[in-house]
A = this chain, B = another copy of it.
Amino acid sequence: MRRHLFVAFFAIAVAHGAADPLPSWNDTAPKQAIIAFVEKVTKDASPDFVPPAERIAVFDNDGTLWAEQPLYFQLLFALDRIKALAPHHPEWKDAEPFASLLKGDGKAALAGGQASLGKIVMATHAGLTTEEFEKTVNDWIATAKHPKTGQLFTEMIYQPMRELLAYLRANEFKTFIVSGGGIEFMRPWAERTYGIPPEQVVGSSGGLRYEVRDGRPVIVKLPEIVLNDDKEGKPVGIQRHIGRRPIAAFGNSDGDLQMLEWTAAGQGPRFCLYVHHTDAEREWAYDRESSIGKLDKGLDEAKAKGWTVVDMKDDWKQVFAVESM
């Protein structure tokens, strides 16, 4: 009988998190702050208790859940699509940014900035039905390799953040992605990679049109933007898709600042965290001057407001599930 009691006690202790829920985090301030926050909002007797329905946590994707260097992975997807589609678009030989891209001159192709990017994204993302696009993404994500590490892109997920997602969900948080990346680009693999179902993915969104083709209903992706889910667009995306203010927000760049600001401004306990890329050896080191994932104003705000900043080099025991760099 005593042995049974012991086994039962052990099972309960594990269920309540006596086992380390964040083994890839060093025991530094960010890990302690995360655990202290989760404990205070989940303990019934706590003055900071938050009912499960209101435990909304939002995560940026690029640079927060997975890497974003040397280019946003969705852009690498788009460039691969340009190459694959080129035979059907002879006109691209004489039209920028496609001509430079197909000659392998990425720098010239992107010289046009946002306008060039827009053309590349529209050419590769619109026109398909949502089912066709989903298949294209699934094929790419299953096979394409990162130019530096040679890993599948879904292997370039941050292991500490994956543990954090699981830890929050074990404490009855609902975890959402709120990303500047395309909503239809993330949904096909977010559930198996992050445990986040499609209805909890918020992202930049294009127009959609419902139509019946040969008696079969389809939804077609249109070349127009209905949500640019970046900067001021992030609180808008949160309101449109979630409809209530998160109590915890996780980002890594100035593009996430308004999301953290909106989260922090709510009543009651709030948690805001920035991932700071400080690890040139295991990942990349960049912040105020970077063209991708620039973290400048956000770093100052985090200090001013007392938000948690993860120093990737010091605070993460392990970066990727498979260390490859």
Q: B199 to A244, Cβ gap below 8 A?
A: yes
Contact digits for A233-265, partner B, Cβ 8 Å, 1 yes 0 no: 111100111111000000000000010011001
Q: A217-B261, A244-B198, A244-B199 are in contact. Are A209 and B232 (CB under 8 A)?
A: yes
Judge whether A208 is part of the interface by a CB distance below 8 angstroms: yes
Taking CB atoms, residues of chain B closer than 8 Å to A174 are: 199
Taking CB atoms, residues of chain B closer than 8 Å to A209 are: 232, 236
Taking CB atoms, residues of chain B closer than 8 Å to A187 are: 243
Q: A191-B53, A198-B243, A243-B199 are in contact. Are A235 and B262 (CB under 8 A)?
A: no
| Cα A212 to Cα B235 with chains together (Å) | 12
What is the total number of residues of chain A having a CB less than 8 Å from a CB of chain B?
39
Judge whether A24 is part of the interface by a CB distance below 8 angstroms: no
How far in angstroms is the closest Cβ of chain B from A201? 6
Judge whether A226 is part of the interface by a CB distance below 8 angstroms: yes
Taking CB atoms, residues of chain B closer than 8 Å to A184 are: 243
Taking CB atoms, residues of chain B closer than 8 Å to A74 are: none
| Cα A241 to Cα B187 with chains together (Å) | 11
Judge whether A124 is part of the interface by a CB distance below 8 angstroms: no
Judge whether A101 is part of the interface by a CB distance below 8 angstroms: no
Query: A219 contacts which of B216, B236, B241 (Cβ < 8 Å)?
Result: B236
In the assembled complex, 23 residue pairs joining A and B whose CB atoms fall closer than 8 Å, in A order, are A56-B199, A130-B239, A176-B199, A183-B240, A184-B243, A187-B243, A199-B199, A199-B242, A199-B243, A201-B243, A205-B240, A208-B236, A209-B236, A210-B233, A210-B262, A211-B232, A212-B261, A217-B235, A217-B261, A219-B235, A219-B262, A226-B226, A241-B241
Contact digits for A99-119, partner B, Cβ 8 Å, 1 yes 0 no: 000000000000000000000
Q: A219-B235, A261-B217 are in contact. Are A243 and B183 (CB under 8 A)?
A: yes
Judge whether A197 is part of the interface by a CB distance below 8 angstroms: yes
| Cα A53 to Cα B192 with chains together (Å) | 12
| Cα A258 to Cα B216 with chains together (Å) | 12
| Cα A187 to Cα B242 with chains together (Å) | 10
Q: A191-B53, A232-B210 are in contact. Are A199 and B241 (CB under 8 A)?
A: yes
Which A residues between 161 and 210 are near B, CB-CB below 8 angstroms? 174, 176, 183-184, 187, 191, 197-201, 205, 208-210
Taking CB atoms, residues of chain B closer than 8 Å to A258 are: 210, 217
Taking CB atoms, residues of chain B closer than 8 Å to A191 are: 53
Taking CB atoms, residues of chain B closer than 8 Å to A262 are: 210, 217, 219
Closest-by-CB residue of B relative to A237 is B208
